[in-house]
Structure 1
Amino acid sequence: MSSTPTPLIALTMGDGAGIGPEVIIGALADEATTSRCRPIVVGDAVRLRQAAEILGVHPKIEPIASVEDATFLPDRINVLDLDLLPADLPWGAVSTVAGEAAYQYVRTASELASSGRVHGICTAPLNKEALHAAGHTFPGHTELLAHLTGTEEVSMMLSTPTVNVIHVTTHIGLLDAVAMIEPGLVERTVRRGEQTIRDSGIARPRIGVCGINPHAGENGLFGYGEEDEKIVPAVRKLCADGIDARGPLPADTAFYLANRGEYDLIVAMYHDQGHGPVKMLGIETGVNVTVGLPVIRTSVDHGTAFDIAGTGRATAASMVEAIRQAAKLSTNA
């Protein structure tokens, strides 16, 4: 048996009013999860204890002052305790205090990963309204982490057991997305995704590139030639460089074929083109990977679920898979 230690993964608690504390407790109760990595929660110990009480479990939740103080034992959860939340924080409600705390958890984890003190980051969901109320006007984790790490351009990849999807554009309006898409951005996005899939163990990924219009424009019948102008040049250049990129493809067909196992990665042109099929195919075990950062970051593929926060009804399946992916990517890095 190898004596090489498993990677250190920082788990950010997300918005403390949401289901983040519950899914973290649930995930860390899974021995298969803790056998893959050495998890350290960046959050609030009091809130985690409240979540454990709701779930009816009793792990030893131990605050630590630094990651170097962590001791990894069965039934122990190490918490880098920022102590930012009041004990009476309501569940399921937008809170400026919780938004600020969520930002500080991510900032702390980013600094730990950038300095090499942890090997990767796995994030529980934050609430955008709460984040903005606290004065941090980022669309989400992807853009926030890009800012914190000084990264000019990153991509969002969603991963499920059957389909991996990377997005050319994400949190912008549809008209703005179409205007933003251009061959260079498409090419860079595909290259980032192809590298990530190779890092996961697939030597030559098969990549399907979606069109923008219905039927990928159907030879100019739909749209104004966006596929020929914005996508075709990128696919030709990628193929010339030996990357197995095919398209532009009708998005409905591309996802059908990917679910059947014919593609290792689908390139979506805009947010809902990629998110809709993924959430239908596997939101419970879906994982969000930020591609292009100088640090490894994965996340659950769901939101704060304020409607069920604090009830014990949240499933930890996506968090379990997100931790597994963070550990895998960290090991292969």
Structure 2
Amino acid sequence: MIQPARILITAGEPAGIGPEIIVKLAQLPHSDQLIVCASPALLKDTAQQLNLPLQLTEFNANETVLAHRSGHLWLVPVDLESSVAPGKLDQANAAYVINTLETAHKLAFNGTVDAILTGPVHKGIINQSGLTFTGHTEFFAEQSNVSKVVMMLATEGLRVALATTHLPLKDVPDAITPQLLHEVIEILIGELQYKFALKRPKILVCGLNPHAGEDGHLGREEIDTIIPTLEKMRTQFDAELIGPIPADTAFQSKWLEQVDTVLAMYHDQGLPTLKYKGFGNAINLTLGLPYIRTSVDHGTGLDIAGQGFADIGSMQYALQFTQQLIHNSKSN
């Protein structure tokens, strides 16, 4: 019999739809132990508003790992700094959000839990509070003292990794260096082999410029940086690196059917296609951390918070994906 895994979920922005999604998720059967890092009062109030049953048991790492049971959650409690009104951001609770992420990191870093699944946060209100926060990806990398991580989004039939993440577009060309590409692709290959159980990953690499530079007439990054880096790495790693391919044709089925992931050079080169294909049924992963971290693909949903309309599809898909990554990692 396979022992259940421990999956820690952070509730995200307390005024958003994260708490509602978690309470709804708790009503379903799951094979693993679901542990939530959040305010117990917030979860209880949310359950009451939804008229759904919810029993909370404080998590104890020394107890036997048990599978989830409907209407119940194990809890790592973190207290709110201020009362919550659904849909209304409050700078006072920014520290609460960061505390949940720090707590989750510690439990994953020391191996107490097998993975972190994060609910959506609001970067703006965190930064307005005076706390510097670029995003989950960068936060967990800093907490883990990892110099480089890779953001990947995935949905059914498509995975997209990013060479650069939250950079202004004007800064992207200078960021695409041989060192950066080497680091990103090395992490990508290793994670595809270990967490995705792909022995010889096939990666399609997009060009940076229109038409992948068109032999230097539309930019030289492909000639000077991307092509030489790929040629060198083909001799160093057990992986198939295809490209650089023009981004406007890279997402055709003739390419996607023969590769395991697409590597886009910047955020809005790769993610619009993925979100068009799978929004609401996609996940975000941080590759290169010493633990598994996944996330929903949507934001805080402030406009529908507290109304009972939040869809749990992305959270369900993220949970299923996380379970598969845990299984693959433990099988290696």
Using the size of structure 1 for normalisation, the TM-score is 0.92
Deviation at 1:63? 4.2
The structure-2 alpha-carbon separation of the partners of 1:244 and 1:72, relative to structure 1 and needing over 3 Å to count, comes to closer
Q: Which runs of 5+ in 1 are unaligned?
A: none
* Match of residue 64 from structure 1: 58
Question: Partners in 2 of 1:229 and 1:29 — Cα distance?
Answer: 54
Percent of aligned positions that are identical? 35
Deviation at 1:262? 2.6
1:133 and 2:131 equivalent?
Answer: no
- RMSD across aligned positions (CA): 1.8
Task: Report the residue type matching 1:79 in the other structure.
Answer: L
* Match of residue 284 from structure 1: 280
1:94 and 2:89 equivalent?
Answer: yes
Task: Report the residue type matching 1:6 in the other structure.
Answer: P
Contact 2:33 2:68 in 1 (8 A): no
* Match of residue 293 from structure 2: 297
* Match of residue 312 from structure 2: 316
Question: Partners in 2 of 1:254 and 1:47 — Cα distance?
Answer: 44
The structure-2 alpha-carbon separation of the partners of 1:77 and 1:85, relative to structure 1 and needing over 3 Å to count, comes to farther
Per-residue displacement from partner, 1:33-54 (whole Å, max 9, x unpaired)?
x21x211000012211232234
5 Å matches for 1:113-124?
A: 113-124=108-119
1:6 and 2:1 equivalent?
Answer: no
Match of 2:279, SS state, is helix
Deviation at 1:117? 0.9
Task: Report the residue type matching 1:270 in the other structure.
Answer: Y
Contact 2:6 2:115 in 1 (8 A): yes
Contact 1:162 1:259 in 2 (8 A): no
Deviation at 1:258? 7.2
Question: Partners in 2 of 1:322 and 1:209 — Cα distance?
Answer: 25
Deviation at 1:218? 1.4
Task: Report the residue type matching 2:105 in the other structure.
Answer: S
Question: Partners in 2 of 1:56 and 1:21 — Cα distance?
Answer: 14
1:218 and 2:214 equivalent?
Answer: yes
For residue 24 of structure 2, the aligned residue among 13, 23, 26 is 26
* Match of residue 259 from structure 2: 263
Contact 1:122 1:298 in 2 (8 A): yes
Question: Partners in 2 of 1:202 and 1:330 — Cα distance?
Answer: 14
Question: Partners in 1 of 2:201 and 2:244 — Cα distance?
Answer: 17
Deviation at 1:196? 2.2
Question: Partners in 2 of 1:246 and 1:71 — Cα distance?
Answer: 44
Question: Partners in 2 of 1:221 and 1:159 — Cα distance?
Answer: 33
Contact 2:35 2:59 in 1 (8 A): no
Match of 2:117, SS state, is strand
Contact 1:14 1:102 in 2 (8 A): yes
Question: Partners in 2 of 1:259 and 1:45 — Cα distance?
Answer: 47
Task: Report the residue type matching 1:132 in the other structure.
Answer: N
Contact 2:158 2:256 in 1 (8 A): no
Deviation at 1:256? 2.0
How many pairs does the alignment contain?
Answer: 325
5 Å matches for 1:101-120?
A: 101-120=96-115
Contact 2:35 2:75 in 1 (8 A): yes
Contact 1:40 1:67 in 2 (8 A): no
Tell me which moved more, 192-201 or 266-275: 192-201
The structure-2 alpha-carbon separation of the partners of 1:177 and 1:273, relative to structure 1 and needing over 3 Å to count, comes to same
* Match of residue 231 from structure 1: 226
Q: Which runs of 5+ in 2 are unaligned?
A: none
Task: Report the residue type matching 2:40 in the other structure.
Answer: A
For residue 154 of structure 2, the aligned residue among 150, 159, 165 is 159
Tell me which moved more, 321-330 or 243-252: 321-330
Deviation at 1:331? 2.6
Moved over 6 A (4+): none
